[in-house]
Structure 1
Amino acid sequence: MWALDSGICNSLEQPIKRCTAKVIAFDLETDKTVKTVDLSDILKPHSRPQYLVTDYSPNGFPYVYISDAEGAIIVLDIHHNKMYRVVLPRAISAGCGESDVLYLLLVRRPKNQNMVIFSYLCGNKVYGIKSEFLRTGRGSSAIVELGSKTKHSVLLGTDGSNGVILRYRSESELYKWNTDQPYKECNFELVQLAEECRLSTHVAPGGKDALMYSLSSNVADYLNHTCGAGGASARLKYISKECEDDCY
């Protein structure tokens, strides 16, 4: 399992930098750390590393892609101990503020045609780039536009194949977008009805059971200090339009 450590805590009110940003790989069978990559040489003074996805080349070498909301995708070539930045065109972040979020997902496709999909929360469009182009350094020249947004959307995860799960900002219904089609509402399928008082923040496939799991919480209330006596709460449940509160 690969994880991104920004090195910053207390990020909501008074950020404190505890250490340099790094990527850490864990062996879940042994509970040991097997790899640590220091990112201090590749990050800029105003970098905001946010999301991480992992990919493998045809010969089995691991690559890590990290979204830097300052305007770049960071590529880590783990096998060859190399790293570099793919600077995004300024048009991609047009209209976005300094605190915006750069979502990043990996869509898996046959014949090593995997694609990295990315978009700013407040951005007007969704973009993609084949992961093979990131690995070979073609960079921003290979970025393609996948569609325009009518509303701000949160990219939550994938179904392990070509489907992206998303929701609209401040709304809890979940939709599945088949990325073989353009990013348009007519290509979205409703897969989860609204949850009361909770918003999904992450979605992941469940493995052999072919289910998708959603992690939802009252994060909006928590950030606004309106949780009440119940405090912060989170729930992991599988995605289903027929799913009620007992679907855990």
Structure 2
Amino acid sequence: MLRGVGITKRFGGVTALRNVSFEVGAGELVGLIGPNGSGKSTLFGVISGFHPPDDGTVFFDGRHITGARPHTVAQLGIARTFQIVRPFTGMTVVENVRVGALYGRGERRIAVADRHARELVEFVGLEQRADTLARNLTLAEKKRLEIARALSIQPRVLLLDEVFAGLNPTEVRGAIDLIARIRSQFGVTIIMVEHVLKALMETCERIIVLSYGEKIAEGAPSAIAADPHVISVYLGKTYAAR
């Protein structure tokens, strides 16, 4: 469904991604891990059109989308969240979600978009905060709003960038459950960048590991957790011994 071949991305003299290839099938839930600066968010940027690659190709459903603008990628059905959540702070929760419903892949009539937005707000558990200004939400609520905004364009692929970061264990468990419901209800393909490894290992079926912009491993969570190279560059012996 989504495939990258030989992706390289440079920022000045820094090579953020070097010859990275990957493939994600329809309905998969794949984790993307690695040390800070390993190229994870840059890869999301390449896929979603924010960072056109210097070399390599991105395919979505067999279609060449390399270098497509972000709004074009979104309209094709690829949505993403961001590490730092930035809702429209002067708008309510439901208004934030309605923006995506109006300008994504879906309905452009305001009444229908509003109904769709309210359904998503309820789906992510924010119905009691629907008419609250986004600036007044907690971090956990803002993360849920970010997911609802991404879902509002009716995506086929969802790129989740550190949705567990900054959450307490109860909130992480709630986020894991929400992701499971997203897969069940919408059948969306999901790729997750995450540093909360225990939660990621529990959630994903397959994991891709980046280090210094290169793919160094790929496989089932159990295989990744036991991989000597991954332990050396990222997980550490303490994690591996758990």
- Shorter-chain TM-score above 0.5: no
Q: Compare the two structures and name the one with the higher strand fraction.
A: 1
User: With CA pairs under 8 Å and 6+ residues apart, which has the higher RCO, 1 or 2?
Assistant: 2
Normalising by structure 2, report the TM-score.
Answer: 0.30
